[in-house]
Structure 1
Amino acid sequence: MHIAFVDSNPAALDAIRRAKEEGHRVTFLQATEPWYPPTEQNLAVVHSADTLIDRVTTTDAEAVTRALAASHAADPIDAVITQHEMCAEAVAAACRTLGLRGTAPEGVFTARRKDLCRAALEKARLASARYALAGTAEEALAAAERIGYPAVLKPPSGADSLLAYVAQDAAQAAEACTGILEGLDSLPENWRGQFRRGILVEELLTGTLVSVELGARDGEFFPFCVTGRFRWAKDEVVELGSYIPANLPEDLAGRCVAYAIEVCRAIGLDLGVFHLEIMVTERGPVLVEANPRVMGGALPTIYRHATGTNIYDSLLRILDPEADVRPPAGTEGCTGGRKVMPVHGGTLAPTASVDWIADEPGVLQVVGFDDYATGPGRTVQAGQVVARFILRDTDHAAVVRGAERILRRLEQELGLELMIGEKD
């Protein structure tokens, strides 16, 4: 196949690496300001592409369309994909204009507009959250009163929880509106248009947060796993990491998968591997958000350790209409990735080290200071990720105990109080 990849988050560069190793032809559209760090390893993957089209404004539909049209004319493209959610709309528009194979454009547009996604769920009579889209702060405050506090206020087409707030009362909601409407300067300039679509007000869903990693092709769905989240006991909005499989009874995990499939059908996500965040509430699974991309961050690495398979291999098979797609048979024990995050800002001890974590029982991988641009004697902010480790044990509870033991020692090593203690 000839696959065109448009931009990438850091983790998804592995999809390009695997595509080349599998013998596919690769075109890569690189952004003017790439989101991934320019490490030697990342640059080697980028430059392995058969065709590298550099300095493309990958959030601009016209720029992406021009670049893909030129590539398609020179060497017909079989499939187009992006794993950078801020580029998803531009890619969908380009595929629609050029008639190229990719995720259905209307599905992408609906997933990226969380208000439209909620409307699609209501139309399909699927469980959802109360919501309203407001154009002004006054409208948002009125909507929050109707929906009830606590409420979530955020841009309807954001990314990575940027400019997202939980408000406990009207005063906090007013502060959130100010943050959303005036916080654009903190974002890359070419992202700002997607953040200027009003203020989405939603009820705060409570329960157990999970995600379903779901593949789709030609009306068939492939559940790869149900993933759990470590959430801080002192503030459940703060995610401390992820683990596979989620700590759910088998029948409830099955209900989450069935619900995720119906969500994809309702909004039109038809080709690719998708990351659907779901809250398991008292009334059952309820969508938090549907992402038209593969899971990001450390999750692909956790998935590889948990299942022995690469999620990007599955993505490539789904894009190939002739290939078999086989989700993993299961997992052994529980595999979790845990962030190291300080409670307060401060300076890491001059002798700080995380290298010793690799020798701890059950630890599979340590992502150290260099990957997070920090180290001994460096100043860090509250909630900043300074390192990460992945470990496996018999079950979720054992992984939590092992992680907390390591984190307690790390507090002494780093000289800072860390976020320890998981929400029940």
Structure 2
Amino acid sequence: MTDEQAPTGTSSSGPGHVVFVTWKAGNAPAFEAARRLGLHVTLIRSRRMEQAQNLDLDTSPYARHVDTVYLLKDATDTDALRDCVTAIHRERPIDGFVATVDALVVPVARIAEEIGVPFTHARAAETAKDKHRCRETLRAAGIDTTRHATVADAEEAAAFASRTGYPVVVKPVRGSGSEGAHVVRDEPHLREVVAQAVGEAPYADGVLVEEYLTGRFLSAEIGLAQDRFLRLAVSERSTWHRHEALETGTTIPAGISAAEHQRVMEFAESVVTALGLRLGVFHIEVMLGADGVPRLIEVNPRLMGSCLPNLFRLAGGGDIFGLLVRVHLGQAVEAAPARFTHYATVRWFGAAELTPKPERIPPDPGGTAEYGDSVHSFTLRFPEGDMLLPCRGNLGNFGEVQVVHTDRATSIRIAEEIVCRAAERLGIEVTR
């Protein structure tokens, strides 16, 4: 074992051993849930990704729920991760893995299969993360027929758009967090976007052009354990009108009818089945058309990200992290449909254009005090440097507000008012 893999912390005995592979401090409730279940908790961190996302896990309170920590230089390096996991498994056999970050699901799935630990099926996870292969699989199964093509250059992209009509969506074949995605409304812009994308990160694995879908942007949160689906929630998503590929927030649960909820969940289950994901808690993004037909946007073979598990709890859905751990430990899970008592809304925001960082932050920049207990949290954290870069993906956000209310419209309104007020008091234009 190398120095960079040296463990810290103390070992304790228990009925099972769960290994988390993540760089998210926000997963601390999952670590705590695992401890409540009497498990030995091991955490594998990734220094490179923590630094890239300006995270400081060393000072976060997660450690009190973790028995052993391994710090890798880069946990997305499959060989380094394999060496670390193999050493851990040799010392204390692993009963289950939890990976909640897109870039780690596939490496963890491959290694889990190699050592014989149940996890999300590796080939299925690879298919889910390859957007072209995923759409081809669903087309072959007769589940989703959204027109799409991988293109080598602007000429091929323009030829596709001439068949489908504008607008079209351009996105990386592999990617997450809306990074590199564009809604394109005419040929000159399409040629510009594709010419800039070919061969560049995050388009290293190719450029995908898709038919533009209209309707309600939703996501289904579902689990699959012991061949049984667990319907957890349907949430509704918001996007920035100036760059539709950028998500600006979520509300849990979605304001849809019982019949629409049923159709979305049935569609999500058919997607998971066709891909053969086998085990886990999944985040399936869909567009519910005016005709009532769900269409796939993308499949994420992991738990919903960012603060959404906390929104689920705030809305009355319960402890989704505890359920996540139990699913991946192969335990029997009985999950009745959530009976939400509130609507929990998050709004994220970043700089609309390149702009100087504000010299000072006024007290209560979002004016949250007047909303009382409806505001669960307001966070403002600027990155290093004197300038704020244009936010065109989830990693570009510097602000977040979470609101909880018994009325859906009020929950959304308060969150949006706070973002608007923060922009005014900071004196900058933000995504909203």
TM-score range, shorter chain: 0.7 to 0.9
Query: What does residue 160 of structure 2 align with?
Result: 143
SS state of the match for residue 360, structure 1?
helix
Distance 2:57 2:175 in 1: 30
Query: What does residue 234 of structure 2 align with?
Result: 226
Aligned pairs for 1:75-90 (under 5 A) are 75-90=92-107
Distance 1:15 1:37 in 2: 21
Structure 1: segments with no counterpart, 5+ residues: 188-194
Matched, 1:416 2:428: yes
Label 1:340 to 1:164 Cα distance change in 2 as closer, same or farther (>3 A): closer
Residue type of the partner of 2:230? F
Using the TM superposition, give the Cα deviation of residue 164 of structure 1 relative to its aligned residue in structure 2, in angstroms.
Answer: 1.6
Query: What does residue 214 of structure 2 align with?
Result: 206
Distance 2:176 2:143 in 1: 24
Query: What does residue 352 of structure 1 align with?
Result: 362
Matched, 1:2 2:17: yes
Matched, 1:387 2:399: yes
Residue type of the partner of 1:146? R
Using the TM superposition, give the Cα deviation of residue 144 of structure 1 relative to its aligned residue in structure 2, in angstroms.
Answer: 3.3
In structure 2, which of residues 24, 39, 44 is the aligned counterpart of residue 24 of structure 1?
39
Label 1:56 to 1:232 Cα distance change in 2 as closer, same or farther (>3 A): closer
Distance 1:351 1:112 in 2: 39
In structure 2, which of residues 29, 34, 37 is the aligned counterpart of residue 14 of structure 1?
29
Matched, 1:163 2:180: yes
Using the TM superposition, give the Cα deviation of residue 341 of structure 1 relative to its aligned residue in structure 2, in angstroms.
Answer: 4.2
Aligned pairs for 1:336-347 (under 5 A) are 336-344=345-353, 345-347=355-357
Structure 2: segments with no counterpart, 5+ residues: 1-15
Distance 1:115 1:360 in 2: 45
Using the TM superposition, give the Cα deviation of residue 263 of structure 1 relative to its aligned residue in structure 2, in angstroms.
Answer: 0.4
In structure 2, which of residues 376, 379, 383 is the aligned counterpart of residue 365 of structure 1?
376
The question of whether the paired residues in 2 share the 8 Å contact of 1:8 and 1:83 is answered with no
Distance 2:123 2:356 in 1: 46
Residue type of the partner of 1:22? L
Label 1:359 to 1:408 Cα distance change in 2 as closer, same or farther (>3 A): same
Q: Provide the aligned length of Structure 1 versus Structure 2.
A: 408
Aligned pairs for 1:252-291 (under 5 A) are 252-283=260-291, 284-291=293-300
Label 1:117 to 1:213 Cα distance change in 2 as closer, same or farther (>3 A): same
Aligned pairs for 1:266-345 (under 5 A) are 266-283=274-291, 284-307=293-316, 309-327=318-336, 329-344=338-353, 345=355
Distance 1:233 1:167 in 2: 13
**Structure 1 range deviating more: 378-387 or 53-62:** 378-387
In structure 1, which of residues 154, 163, 167 is the aligned counterpart of residue 171 of structure 2?
154
Query: What does residue 64 of structure 1 align with?
Result: 81
Distance 1:234 1:165 in 2: 10
Distance 1:218 1:415 in 2: 53
The question of whether the paired residues in 2 share the 8 Å contact of 1:151 and 1:201 is answered with yes
The question of whether the paired residues in 1 share the 8 Å contact of 2:235 and 2:252 is answered with yes
Distance 1:70 1:41 in 2: 23
Distance 1:411 1:229 in 2: 21
Residue type of the partner of 1:415? G
TM-score by length of 2: 0.85
Percent identity of the aligned residues?
Answer: 29
Distance 1:293 1:124 in 2: 22
Deviations 1:338-382 (A, max 9, x none): 224454434437352336414414523223224x448xx975344
TM-score by length of 1: 0.87
Distance 1:43 1:400 in 2: 30
SS state of the match for residue 34, structure 1?
helix
SS state of the match for residue 12, structure 1?
helix
Using the TM superposition, give the Cα deviation of residue 212 of structure 1 relative to its aligned residue in structure 2, in angstroms.
Answer: 0.5
Distance 1:201 1:369 in 2: 35
Query: What does residue 132 of structure 1 align with?
Result: 149
Distance 1:156 1:327 in 2: 36
Deviations 1:250-274 (A, max 9, x none): 1101110111011000011121111
The question of whether the paired residues in 1 share the 8 Å contact of 2:250 and 2:345 is answered with yes
Label 1:175 to 1:323 Cα distance change in 2 as closer, same or farther (>3 A): same
Distance 2:176 2:242 in 1: 24
Label 1:352 to 1:128 Cα distance change in 2 as closer, same or farther (>3 A): farther
The question of whether the paired residues in 2 share the 8 Å contact of 1:4 and 1:26 is answered with yes
Residue type of the partner of 1:311? I
Distance 2:320 2:357 in 1: 37
